[in-house]
Amino acid sequence: MSIVKIGVIGTGSISDFHLKAYAAHPEAEVYAVSDLNEARAQAAAGAHGAAKAYTDYRDLLADPEIDAVSICTWNNTHAEICIAALQAGKHVLIEKPLCRTVQEALQIQEAVKASGRLLQVGFVRRYDSNAQLLRSFADQGEFGDIYYAKASYIRRLGNPGGWFSDKSRSGGGPLIDIGVHVIDLCWYLMGRPKAVSVSGNTYSRLGNRAHIQNLSSYKAADYDARYNDVEDMANALIRFENGASLMVDVSFTLHAKGDEGIIKLYGDKGGFEVDPEVCIVTEKHDTILNIQPQTDDSGFQFEQAFANEIAHFIECVQQNKQPLSPVEDGVEIMKILNAVYESAAAGKEIYL
């Protein structure tokens, strides 16, 4: 296969990162787009040179010219569209989270097996250059046994509203929107150990705080201040079968001094930080060293990570390779996310 013809389903804000990366890739062609909003679909097609624009994703999937699709729609449609795409013989890049429930995740996994096509989950943080650098260090034993990780992604005023705050469409709030990124990245950098139990809490105390003035925040295109039924924040302790553990907290809104993003991992030979910037901690000659790797960027580069993710997807399609973030990993992360919500609802630890 030479040029991979791509269909992008859903032309909301996140799709821009997919469309731009495909358009810039020398071996990909944005062939078609689909969106329920015809004007938005036409605009995206025109902006990225797509030959066709559809308002029904089924019509896009029926197009024999299309080799692969990116799915950038509401979470509640992920399973349905993924399965339909695979059955139509298309390779799939699905935005995170894989879906909303473990049952849906398992159905997608079965569809992947039955179709013989590949599915790549959009865990874009894995594709960041710094994450790959740190993973290579870990693979070479630089940090020894990584036994503890912690991640904190706090937005003080960051409920996007719209479909993000509608549980029926999103599946949840900051845990499934932001938490999925940091939980997956920590899990990936720890070597993907099997999760055995989860203890979690969710809080819904502040709502979308639409009354706040003098401070701006991102709002979804369908923002409606009158509706919000997702959690404000969530925290969890995740235990793994190798004895390692991960502590995480995330929020859409919180009475915090400011936004904060921290990711740290600790091993018995060394440790490292990913956010807010990369740092490696080790020992040499009985002295602790904080090492700053010399790279182009010390922090997470969103657009570059998307470009890497898209390039990897094209390579996997062309060479029939298993992606770095396969459907099996999407299933495992859904088990963890669902267990946090289940633990919070039941008020007890959940065993997987």
Domain covering 4-124+306-326: architecture: 3-Layer(aba) Sandwich (3.40)
* pLDDT tens, position by position, 136-194: 999 999 999 999 999 999 999 999 999 999 999 999 999 999 999 999 999 999 999 99
Domain covering 126-301+333-351: architecture: 2-Layer Sandwich (3.30)
* pLDDT tens, position by position, 6-24: 999 999 999 999 999 999 9
Helical spans, DSSP H, in the chain? 15-24, 38-48, 57-61, 78-87, 102-115, 129-139, 167-170, 174, 180-189, 302-319, 327-346
Give CA angle at 187 (172, 306), nearest 5°: 75
Residue 1 has pLDDT above 70, yes or no: no
Question: Which residue, among 324, 322, 261, 263, has the nearest Cα to 123 in the 3D structure?
Answer: 324
- Mean pLDDT over residues 77-105, rounded? 98
**Do the first three CATH levels of 4-124+306-326 and 126-301+333-351 match, i.e. the same topology?**
no
Asked if residue 276 has a cis previous peptide bond (ω within 30° of 0), the answer is yes
Cα atoms in the Cβ-side hemisphere of radius 13 Å centred on 148: 5
Residue 42 has pLDDT above 80, yes or no: yes
Query: DSSP of 200-236, one letter per residue?
Result: EEEE-SSTT-TT--S------TT--TT---S-SEEEE
* pLDDT tens, position by position, 219-267: 988 888 888 999 999 999 999 999 999 999 999 999 999 999 999 999 9
Domains of the chain by residue range = 4-124+306-326, 126-301+333-351
